[in-house]
Amino acid sequence: MLDSDLTGVINLASGTPRSLRSVIEHLADRLDARHLVRFGAIAATGVDAEPIIAADIGRLRTVTAGVQSIGFDEGAARSVAWWIDRLAAKA
């Protein structure tokens, strides 16, 4: 994308809808922190109350056609590892 002429907003996502709850549960499991998550503790309103939010990745696909992508599990694992490394470095 950096080498393209594309400007403006580009959603970076898989294009596969997932519930926010499933993402939170997945990350909590990877961090062995499911016990820290309480669903329903605060009433959700507006867009936060939507059961599933999906990004439109049409523009992303036009620029990255043919580029290998990674799945949710691998992307989540990389993100968790990146944050753990950064937080450990600050400790």
pLDDT tens, position by position, 19-35: 888 989 999 999 999 99
CB-CB contact of 37 with 24 (8 Å): yes
* pTM score: 0.68
Amino acid present at 4: S
Does position 84 have pLDDT exceeding 90, yes or no?
Answer: yes
- Using a CB cutoff of 8 Å and minimum separation of 24, what contacts does 44-51 make? 48/20, 51/19
Does position 2 have pLDDT exceeding 80, yes or no?
Answer: no
Q: How far apart are CA 13 and CA 72, in angstroms?
A: 9
Strand stretches in 1-91, DSSP E: none
